[in-house]
Amino acid sequence: MRTLDTRTCTPEELAAILDKPLLQENPKVEKTVRGILADVRKRGDEAVLEYTRRFDWPDADSIEVPREALQEGHAQVSKSLLLAIRKSKQNIERFHRKQIRESWLDTEQPGRMLGQIIRPVERVGALVPGFLGPLPSSLLMTVVPAKVAGVEEVFVCTPPRKDGSIHPATAAAAIEAGVDRVFRIGGAQAVAALAFGTATVPRVDKIVGPGSVYVTMAKRFVYGQVGIEMLAGPSEVLVLADDTADPRHVAADMLSQAEHDPDARALLVTPSQKLADDVNAEIERQITSLSREEIARKSLDDNGAIVIVSDMDEAVEIANRVAPEHLEVSVAEPLVLLPRLKNAGAILLGDNTTEPIGDYIAGPSHVLPTSGTARFSSPLNVDDFLKKSSVVMYSKEALLADAAATIELAETEGLDAHANAVRIRLEA
């Protein structure tokens, strides 16, 4: 894996490693996605079934997974997996309950009632990718926060297997999370069905969840028709480490990210040349035992790097610049650095807090901002499923007190009708 030293490399070389755009310009993908969206919007179920036959299930004849099939899948999973799913769900619920906000009304100012009404959106669609295997954790991490927020109906779209079934692990997670309906569709066609509605798939108010570049592009195009939580790029981890870090653990954590996808990104930033060398050696030793060795190698070759810095201050600067999805802090005193770490989707402190703990079991959603978007956005959370309405009520006396200022502002902006709407009440 390539290694750069900030004291000797050029700014351009460093930028090529650190600054990755969220969505690369890709006219072919854009054209394909726009075509699918338009087709599904026009032909509904018929188009959805055609794309499902083309990409996933050659004999597709239906869109919704029957409840009986979900229950059969639930019955097929092992007891240990079911216990893991339940533990993950319990922790996700516990974490997200702490985020719930209450509506409020304020009557402190005479003659005025001001407030905010907080309500959940009514219907949410969660995308659960198939990729190279089932992702029941992604179902839990999207559906459970929505349920905690009080969303009335939560649907899941997930691509079927070649025989039309969905993986038992996904079915079990859907049952345990309380999913209302499951549709066996994936890709841009799933986004289109949720955004526009079909005879089978009801239109939703918000779409959440990860996916391929086609899914991300589709979410980008339907935003405004429906809400989305974020545009997510390939998964990534940045490990901040000093010379106390265990190179075996750092290498294992970088590989756990690299095996996701050839486009995934794993970075190590450290002031220790010895750690950098040891981690490189450990990666070569551990990677040969992975079932996804080829994927991990391509990920590290194309997008991975070890960046050697002059000191930990520079390491923190780089971490804040990258604004990674996952930021592991493997240093002697991680809590000392925490106040200075400004940009990250999830901050994982200390050697024991490996990234998979955050991804599967700790409780925060693993749907996180990527590609530097943690500079201005947040992980999926309860607020993503809530909407707020302002409440204003004025008495006659309160209107009289604020009328002159309101008229002044309206006339300054050239909005005579605004001013008149207040003035006509004064005349009355």
Give me the phi and psi of 260, to 5 degrees please.
-60, -45
Q: Which of 326, 328, 355, 366 is catalytic?
A: 326
Query: Is the sign of the CA dihedral 356, 358, 360, 365 positive or negative?
Result: negative
The pair phi, psi for residue 196, each rounded to 5°, is -105, -25
Pairing of strands 153-157, 265-270: unpaired
The catalytic residue among 229, 259, 325, 355 is 325
Q: Nearest-5° angle of CA 252, CA 255, CA 257?
A: 120
Question: How many residues belong to the chain?
Answer: 428
Half-sphere exposure of 397 (CA within 13 A, CB side): 5
Residue indicated by tokens 């209450």: 102
Known catalytic residue: 167?
A: no
260 in active site: no
Annotated active-site positions, please? 325-326
